[in-house]
Amino acid sequence: MQQAHRIRKQGHFRYVYRRGKRASGALMTAYYVKAGRIQAGFSVSKKVGNAVTRNRVKRRMRESFRLMMPGLKRGNYVFAARDPAAGADYGAISQEMARLLTRLGAARENP
């Protein structure tokens, strides 16, 4: 995923948490706020595992989101991983993310 599409600032994360719609699943929680362009942030707590595990979960989440981007509405997205995400494979993370984005109504009608 390109740098221009990433949320990195703490204030930007807080804005999405405060103003966004939320949908939760077993592996992650997703937040969505309408905006002018697509940007996404990924948060993985130290509760999920060691640094290697957390980075693996973030990489899988980023790649899943990158592949879904063309079919999404413009906005800011934040994904916060939960403990079970450490043991989940790429397919499970991708399915969970697609399910949460559908529940948030973030999919475009005509992709």
Q: Domain boundaries in the chain?
A: 3-104
Distance CA 7, CA 98 (A): 19
Tell me the per-residue pLDDT of 57-107, one tens digit each, with 9 for 90 and over. 999 999 999 999 999 999 999 999 999 999 999 999 999 999 999 999 998
For the domain made up of 3-104, the CATH class stated in words is alpha beta
Question: Is the CB of residue 108 less than 8 Å from the CB of residue 71?
Answer: yes
Query: Which residues, including other chains, have CB under 8 Å from residue 64's CB and lie 6 or more apart?
Result: 90, 93, 94, 97, 98
Other C-beta atoms closer than 10 Å to the C-beta of 74 total 12
Tell me the per-residue pLDDT of 11-25, one tens digit each, with 9 for 90 and over. 999 999 999 999 999
* pTM for this prediction: 0.92
